[in-house]
Structure 1
Amino acid sequence: MSAKQDRILIFGAGVIGSIYAIKLMEAGFDVTLYAHSNRFTSLKEHGLQYEEKDKVRSIQVKVIDTIENNDIYDFIFVTVRYDRSESALLTLKDNQSPNIVTMTSNSIGFSSWLDIVGDRLVPAFPGFGGQIKDGVLHARILPKFLVPTVFGEINGVVTERIENLTKLFISAKLPYVIKQDMQSYLITHSVTDIAMLSFLHSENRIDKKTARTGKTARKITITLKAYLRAIQKAGVSIDPPMVKMALIFPNLLMDLLFMIWLRTKMVRDMMLPDYANSATNEIVQLSHDLMKFLSENDIQAEKS
């Protein structure tokens, strides 16, 4: 990257935005976090606090709660949940920054986003997870080969800005993958999230004991297979390809895999009220938009 292409705004100071802020600041980039309410106040007063090797550390970060139209960044990373993505893009609509990277799920395609920010849009998906507890970031960073950051142009072309984004990630030592079909990737990922996190829905939320049962695992198996078949019929290429194995494996094997997953600490953390409430809002919106996408393609998800 050239010396001038180092000004980055991260719109959203939750788990994802905070992790990228730390990584990019450590690489020497000029990073600003956009936050609001209590999170804005906490970052102002205490810096970006994070847990590392069982110790709480803090790093000072520039933080804003408003953005001017002429406050121009080389890249804006939008790291909010899917149900807040359109609102975030509307906030950025008149800002003159040339590249807006949406690091979030998407189960319907990019039409509404393009209507707001036009060809500045670069769809992406983050490679991290975790939680913020009492203002402290607890990052969950899986092996690099499992969860890289994924990004690419909507038309699949490797443009100059994709090359610049690649150089940014290399400088920050962040693993990445460039995709030629981001819509298929994001819809596939949304389908897996909808199936695997449906037990967090507020209207049918279950306790930890019930979550570990074969009945819950079977519900995930049936839902996942039905939605994967449905998006295939709608012309979506399942990506990553290994997710296709879910359609090949027998239900009993899939049930076993999900029962193991449902017993992990990650799932226990997901069931905590703060996370579950947030996840519910996102999954409900993803589900609604997936049904709309399938309906527009005259497809019904048949669970059997």
Structure 2
Amino acid sequence: MRILIVGVGGIGGYFGARLLEKGADVTFLVREKRKQQLQKHGLVVRSIHGDLHVHQPKTILSGEQAETFDVILLSTKAYHLQGAIESIQPYAEENTLILPLLNGIAHMDALKAAFGEHNILGGLCFIETTLDEDGTIIQTSPIHDLVFGELSGEKTDRVRMLEDAFQGTKARITLSDQIQQDMWHKYLFISTLSGVTSLFQAPIGPIRDQEYGLETVRSLLAECGRVMRSVNAPLAGNIEEVQADKIMQMGYNMKSSLQRDMEKGLKTEADHFFKYLLDLGRANNIHTPVIAAIYTNLKIYETSLH
């Protein structure tokens, strides 16, 4: 099975390296700078699950000639999605599976419009990674999970084949029969964690310590849950309480990737995460003051970048 991974960042690079480690046929679609970095240093992973050094991973630049692929794995930031769609279209054919690992839900409509609903799988991942100055992927958390499945929940022949292709990878890759629920649950969780940590510019522990900080966490979970249910998202009945408990148990110094991006002066996925929820809420007459405050904070921050 020919696999194309868009980019060699922390997520695509990590899972791609693990697939290469077990002998999968993996190619990375990269920019010129990253190609040069890989030619100089190779694809290097430093992980508590075992280090890995792939000396000459296969790469292509956008527009280069290549055969089509069986699977294209997308792990870009949401603000790079349209560019990624344009880049991969020459490498997809009518049976190519598109497996996105982006957070949120808004990207699904764009992918369906570009490639057809039949070609799109659901997907998500749980992993903490970062790149050092040489492009080495640093992975320090026990969690390195990738979840995928048919949007219908069926375990079709094609996802069984993909499951077989992923077997033996030194990462936890799971075929789900409820991937849409999995994606909405992660969206709820990541919106809450990234929302409060970016708003207060603090790890989750100090936020929990404050009476109104914890109240804000619960209010945000409730707002997001109401908005998602208004569009019939397949949320479990008690998911807000489950996720509140999970947030209470997180490490004191845990930060969200959105907060870390702000600390580095980088662009954020504010529209993808929060404007999408605000638009759904407005369309369904749901009051969302906490989501609005988080979104406003992020847009003020982004204005300061110019």
Per the alignment, residue 221 of structure 1 pairs with 218
Question: After superposition, what is the alpha-carbon deviation per residue over 1:229-273, rounded to whole angstroms, capped at 9, x for unaligned?
Answer: 33224311225x7734348x7xxxx5xx64663623x42887545
2:156 equivalent to 1:178: no
Q: Percent identity over the alignment?
A: 17
Per the alignment, residue 77 of structure 2 pairs with 81
* Cα distance between partner residues in 2 of 1:272 and 1:77: 24
In the TM superposition, residue 65 of structure 1 has moved relative to its aligned partner by 2.3
Question: After superposition, what is the alpha-carbon deviation per residue over 1:142-176, rounded to whole angstroms, capped at 9, x for unaligned?
Answer: 35xxx632211222222221111111121325433
2:282 equivalent to 1:285: no
Q: Judging changes above 3 Å, is the alpha-carbon distance between structure 1 residues 64 and 275 closer, same or farther for their aligned structure 2 residues?
A: farther
2:230 equivalent to 1:243: no
Unaligned residue ranges in structure 1 (runs of 5+): none
2:184 equivalent to 1:187: yes
Per the alignment, residue 120 of structure 1 pairs with 119
* Paired letter, 2:231: A
Q: Judging changes above 3 Å, is the alpha-carbon distance between structure 1 residues 157 and 78 closer, same or farther for their aligned structure 2 residues?
A: same
Question: After superposition, what is the alpha-carbon deviation per residue over 1:179-210, rounded to whole angstroms, capped at 9, x for unaligned?
Answer: 34433332331222111112454xx5625696
Residues 261 and 268, structure 2, Cα contact 8 Å, conserved in 1: no
Per the alignment, residue 130 of structure 1 pairs with 129
2:250 equivalent to 1:261: yes
Across the two proteins, how many residue pairs are aligned to each other?
Answer: 283
Question: After superposition, what is the alpha-carbon deviation per residue over 1:210-231, rounded to whole angstroms, capped at 9, x for unaligned?
Answer: 6574243432222012212332
User: For 1:105, what is the secondary structure of its paired residue?
Assistant: coil
Residues 43 and 63, structure 1, Cα contact 8 Å, conserved in 2: no
1:1-150 to 2 correspondence within 5 Å? 5=1, 7-52=2-47, 58-60=53-55, 61-68=57-64, 71-97=67-93, 98-108=96-106, 110-118=108-116, 119-134=118-133, 135-143=135-143, 148-150=145-147
Q: TM-score, normalised by structure 1?
A: 0.78
Unaligned residue ranges in structure 2 (runs of 5+): 291-306
In the TM superposition, residue 93 of structure 1 has moved relative to its aligned partner by 2.5
* Cα distance between partner residues in 1 of 2:148 and 2:52: 30
Residues 196 and 216, structure 2, Cα contact 8 Å, conserved in 1: no
User: For 1:126, what is the secondary structure of its paired residue?
Assistant: strand
Residues 102 and 124, structure 1, Cα contact 8 Å, conserved in 2: yes
User: For 1:235, what is the secondary structure of its paired residue?
Assistant: coil
In the TM superposition, residue 47 of structure 1 has moved relative to its aligned partner by 0.7
* Cα distance between partner residues in 1 of 2:256 and 2:101: 25
User: For 1:142, what is the secondary structure of its paired residue?
Assistant: strand
User: For 2:122, what is the secondary structure of its paired residue?
Assistant: strand
Residues 82 and 106, structure 1, Cα contact 8 Å, conserved in 2: no
Q: Judging changes above 3 Å, is the alpha-carbon distance between structure 1 residues 274 and 153 closer, same or farther for their aligned structure 2 residues?
A: same
* Paired letter, 1:288: K
User: For 1:128, what is the secondary structure of its paired residue?
Assistant: strand
User: For 1:93, what is the secondary structure of its paired residue?
Assistant: helix
Residues 206 and 252, structure 2, Cα contact 8 Å, conserved in 1: no
1:154-169 to 2 correspondence within 5 Å? 154-169=151-166
Q: Judging changes above 3 Å, is the alpha-carbon distance between structure 1 residues 242 and 15 closer, same or farther for their aligned structure 2 residues?
A: farther
* Cα distance between partner residues in 2 of 1:57 and 1:179: 28
Q: TM-score, normalised by structure 2?
A: 0.77
* Cα distance between partner residues in 1 of 2:215 and 2:249: 12
Q: Judging changes above 3 Å, is the alpha-carbon distance between structure 1 residues 33 and 294 closer, same or farther for their aligned structure 2 residues?
A: same
* Cα distance between partner residues in 2 of 1:142 and 1:84: 28
In the TM superposition, residue 133 of structure 1 has moved relative to its aligned partner by 1.9
